[in-house]
Each structure stands twice: as structure tokens, then as C-alpha cells.
Chains A and B, each alone.
Chain A
Amino acid sequence: MDTLDVKGLSCPIPVIRTKKMLDKGCQELQVTGTGNVARENVSKFASSQGFIVKLVNDSPDEWNIIISK
């Protein structure tokens, strides 16, 4: 599984980074980030592209989601 760290990055860079990974053909991706807005935006984007989004950790300091086909 590929991993991507978008902690602390401004909008919309977490989504752009995720998009780049998915465009490269990545089938399963774990994204780690901070803040609800980035989590919502990355999740919404991946769902809109037909991926399954699973939130595996949502602590106050960081979140992890797994994006898969």
C-alpha cells in the first residue's frame, strides 16, 4: 500500500497530492493529515472518483484514511 503525508498543508494541496497519486494508478493509498477540512476534502474527492474511503484513525492530532478501489 502506498502512503501519503499531507499533515499541515494548506487547501487544496492535500487534494492535489491525493489526485496525483490516484492518477498515477495507485490502487490502495493511506493518507495521513491534520484538520477536518483536509480530511473532508480528500475523502469527498476520492469518493467522487469512485474509490472506497475508510477512516481508520480520527484522533485530535491527525487522521488516517485508506483509499481503495
Chain B
Amino acid sequence: MDREKMLMIVTGVIIGGLAVLLVAMGNPGNMGYCIACFLRDTAGGLGFHRAAIVQYVRPELIGLVLGAFIAAVSSREFKSRGGSSTFVRFLLGIFMMLGALIFLGCPLRDILRIGGGDLNAVVGLAGLIVGILWGIFFLKRGFNLGAARAEETTQAGGYLFILGVIGLLVLLISGFSFNPAGGGPLFFSTTGPGSQHAPLWIALGAGLLVGVLSQKARLCLTGGFRDFFLIGNKGMLIAYAAILITVVTLNLYLGKFNLGFANQPIAHTNHIFNFLGLFLVGQCGVLLGGCPLRQIILGSEGDMDAAATVMGMLAGAAIAHNFMLAATTKGTTSISQIALITGIVIVSIIGWAYREVDA
């Protein structure tokens, strides 16, 4: 077996194994990893939104960034670069988060949800794949947000994202509060999903390991499908299969596999909006050149446009919760449905507007 296939399998098995472990150690059901949920919790932990049940600076995210950073520096792949339609990427980050918070998970959690027997996530996967195909429609017509430029005289810009994340870690470990009388930040949920978490050091370690592996494997939960449809490359689909098989096996062993649509952890059963939620994530993931996880990894390699996308996702989480757009386990509201469809239309207009006719 070649090295690349082996790396994909090892990455998939370790991510799947750690995802089940993190749930066993305290994370919400089928949420060993969820980049969208964790960014939403982190936005809450910083006080950017007021949904009291989803406030916690997730150490897994901090670990992901630091792990990917260490891997990139050690393989000399850290390079400060940016300037490719940064504000458009920020906006696409907002919409990618909106889609994820209407489905209730990023593409990585979608696989973990399927691995727990949640059939709503199969509907979501179908939406993700169709959304990716819709994104490819624009790519094939020359969609391009423009070239990023490497910073020639300094690497400072790339380090800013890393420093910000280290700052978060210091706040989290020290327990420092800016406003002791009013509480926070950081804010910590006392009930709900934000209060359910694995111990800090285990979550941080699990993040670090997955950060290293994801950087090495170039793991992207939209890129695998995109490359399969675009050029017939099946390489990354192996990692998806490895995650799924590992999670199904471990959940069956632990008695946590619960096949069906109803009563799934942090999920709802509105099929249309489960489909459309991940459709929007797939569409944004293709236009941005990567899923939420990949944006975190790229940001950790010095890609300032990806870092801006992550900031867009953080802002998107705040908007989604402050404006009551995020779905709950009860389902979606009419305002969230309108917002999602508006999002698909706006992202499609961006896809059309940024095509290079002569490309």
C-alpha cells in the first residue's frame, strides 16, 4: 500500500477513535469533533452571542491550530500569505457557518453523526454532495477569488492567528475574567451542550494530534468529494471511510449506535433543511477551497485568507445565535429558513460574479 493511502487510513482511524473517546469523556453525543459547533461554543465563550447553553472555548480547536502549526513549521510549509478577496472569504465563512448551524454540524460531524446511526445526517450528506456539485458548477466556469500573495519580508501576518489562539489558551487555563462582577469573558455554560466537555488536557491533546495528522494528510471534508467529481481522485474518500468505519465499530461496541431519525443527540428531523444546511456548507467549501476543518488548518499554516474565513465563521456563529437563525433540536424557524435560502442565493451570486470568462 502506498504512503498516501496509509496516511489517509491512519488519519481516519485516529480521528474516528478520538471522536468516540471525546464523547465518552464528556463531549455531547456524536460531537467528538465539530468545527462549526466548537467555533459556535467558542464565540459564546467569548461573549459574542448570548445563547447560554453553547458557551465554552473548546480546547480541541486550540489543539487543532497548534498541532497544524507545529506540523507546518516542522515540514517548512508555514508561509505567511494572503490577499485573495479576503472580505468575500470572510462573508463565505459567515454563510458556511449559517449552513452548518442549521444542519447542526460541520461535514466532519456529519460523518460522526452517521457513525452514531443518525439517519438525518445521511440526508445532510446528500445535501453536502449536491452542494459540492453546485460549487463545482462555478469552478468549471472559471470561478476564482484571485491569487494570494506571499509576504516576502515577514512572516508576521501568519503568526497573528497563532498568537490569538495561544491567547485564548492562556485565558482558558488561567481562568482570568475581565469582568468578575458580570461574569466572563470567558463564559462557561452550566447547562446544555456547552457544559458537556471532555477534560481540558485530553481535549487539547486530541486536538493537537488531529491537527498534526490533518495538516499532513491535507484532510478536507469537502475536497475529497470535489476532487472525486472533478478529476476522479478517490484518495481522500479513503479517510472518510476510515473515520466512518471506526466510529460505527466503536459505537456498536460501546452500545452507542442508535439507528433512526428520531431522538438523535443535537439533531433535528427537518429533512429539507438538513439537506439545504449542508448544501450551503458544501457550496461554500468548494468556493473557499476547503471545509471548516481545512480552513482552520490553512489558517495555522500562515494562510491569512483562511484565518479571515475562520473569523467569518466565528462572526457567523454570533449572527446565527443573536438573530435566532441557528436550528435547535426542535428544528428550524421560518426566519432561519429564509436566511438559509437567502444565503444560498447570495453565495451563488458570488460564485457567478467571480468567474473568469477567459480562464
A2 to chain B, nearest CB (A): 15
The answer, among B140, B144, B148, B231, for a CB contact under 8 Å with A15, is B231
Q: Is A60 an interface residue (CB 8 A)?
A: yes
Q: Is A43 an interface residue (CB 8 A)?
A: no
- A-side interface size class: 20 to 34
Q: Are A61 and B150 interface neighbours, CB within 8 A? A: yes
Q: Is A55 an interface residue (CB 8 A)?
A: no
Q: Are A8 and B149 interface neighbours, CB within 8 A? A: yes
Name the CB-closest residue of A to B144.
Answer: A13
A44 to chain B, nearest CB (A): 7
Residues of B42-94 at the interface with A, using a CB-CB cut-off of 8 Å, are 75-77, 79, 81, 84
- B-side interface size class: 20 to 34
Q: Is B230 an interface residue (CB 8 A)?
A: yes
Q: Are A34 and B227 interface neighbours, CB within 8 A? A: no
Q: Are A11 and B290 interface neighbours, CB within 8 A? A: yes
Task: Collect the chain A residues with CB atoms within 8 Å of residue B149's CB.
Answer: 8
Name the CB-closest residue of B to A16.
Answer: B139
Q: Are B139 and A13 interface neighbours, CB within 8 A? A: yes
Q: Is B147 an interface residue (CB 8 A)?
A: yes
Most buried by B among A7, A15, A36: A36
A-B contact pairs, 16 of them (CB 8 A): A8-B84, A9-B147, A9-B148, A10-B144, A12-B223, A12-B226, A12-B230, A15-B231, A16-B139, A16-B140, A17-B359, A20-B359, A35-B77, A36-B77, A37-B218, A61-B152
Q: Which residues of A contact B (CB under 8 A)?
A: 7-13, 15-17, 19-20, 34-37, 40, 44-45, 48, 60-61
Q: Which residues of B contact A (CB under 8 A)?
A: 75-77, 79, 81, 84, 139-140, 144-145, 147-150, 152, 218, 220, 223, 226-227, 230-233, 288-290, 359
